[in-house]
Structure 1
């Protein structure tokens, strides 16, 4: 059974220092987001979950093999670059894109009380991911987005019948933190020439 929103590690709890975004806390929060995707239905967003989980695994593998040099995402990328490797960096680029897409969709949902979930995901896709995908992938995504649950059902699943106003307040904090991390890491990757996000 998917977790309630409040049971998922929050991006609010991911430490950010002068050295960057804490790698293990970030990966825990990203894992929590993947668990929330179960609320969309495993078939509907299965391909998104698979892609994001693969990218989380790639970043986590680099962290596990070079822990001391990878305490933050930024240090992880710099250390990998110094080793003339690229796998974890490429995974991080794709992971940040996927997180930015999800964040944007849920921000749209929060901002527009009348919009259905599929509309919010479509808007987010058009802005964040569409230009990275081929025609075939765009077609698959369009079909998947149309199959997401209704807005009311999604919020009911997240809150499990609890206080939806509290849920919305917590989600706003969670999304603000995720957005700040995505913007920060994207800028770092782009400015350092490590990969386009």
Structure 2
């Protein structure tokens, strides 16, 4: 568990912003920096301070681990996420590819929830997360998992408490200046990964 006595974006466990993940002209995403950005995203669950979010955190962390394992097994074939997927599938395996599919859904969920909440200052986190869950992960979950995740959404902290936790003594305008590019970077990555994971290149 990360030390939450410091602001989220200054936390030693925050290794990489999504805004700083290299993406080339063909929209190929650098695997190593993507993994670091996703590991940094997981830290935000410590600031949510809701044990009910443990299944959500576990789901995202587990899928990051699958991608990291494949990257370390075959770094030369996995420099970008697209290469990792294509080369894993050539080897008749799909553990990391399936992990990336679920991780993409999880990242889309986090982006939609935090973007909506950041945009609407009167909306509580529980509303933003519930709406985002319905749009992203829920259609892919079975009955029992839906109940677990849906219950977790109701345990979000109050909006003001969450942003105080994330920013600590950071001035609101400074926190916003950190949050905006992070969310924009996450949006760009999700926008690339969703169609790629739906393409024939990512089918097993």
Equivalence for 2:22: 15
Runs of 4+ in 1 over 4 A off after TM superposition: none
RMSD across aligned C-alpha pairs, in angstroms?
1.5
CA contact (8 A) 1:93 1:195 kept: no
Normalising to structure 2: TM-score of the pair? 0.91
Q: 2:150 aligns with which of 138, 142, 156?
A: 142
Number of aligned residue pairs: give it: 196
Q: How far off is 1:188 after superposition?
A: 1.1
Secondary structure of 2:157's match? coil
Q: How far off is 1:195 after superposition?
A: 4.7
Deviations 1:122-147 (A, max 9, x none): 11011111111122222222221111
**Aligned positions of 1:31-180 closer than 5 A:** 31-41=39-49, 43-180=51-188
Q: 2:7 aligns with which of 4, 10, 17?
A: 4
Q: Distance in 2 between matches of 1:42 and 1:149?
A: 7
Q: Distance in 2 between matches of 1:172 and 1:72?
A: 25
Structure 1: gaps (5+ residues): none
**Aligned positions of 1:21-32 closer than 5 A:** 21-32=29-40
Q: How far off is 1:192 after superposition?
A: 2.5
Normalising to structure 1: TM-score of the pair? 0.94
Q: Distance in 2 between matches of 1:194 and 1:117?
A: 33
Q: Distance in 1 between matches of 2:203 and 2:44?
A: 28
Structure 1 residues 19 and 123, CA gap change in structure 2 (3 angstroms): closer
Q: How far off is 1:42 after superposition?
A: 5.2
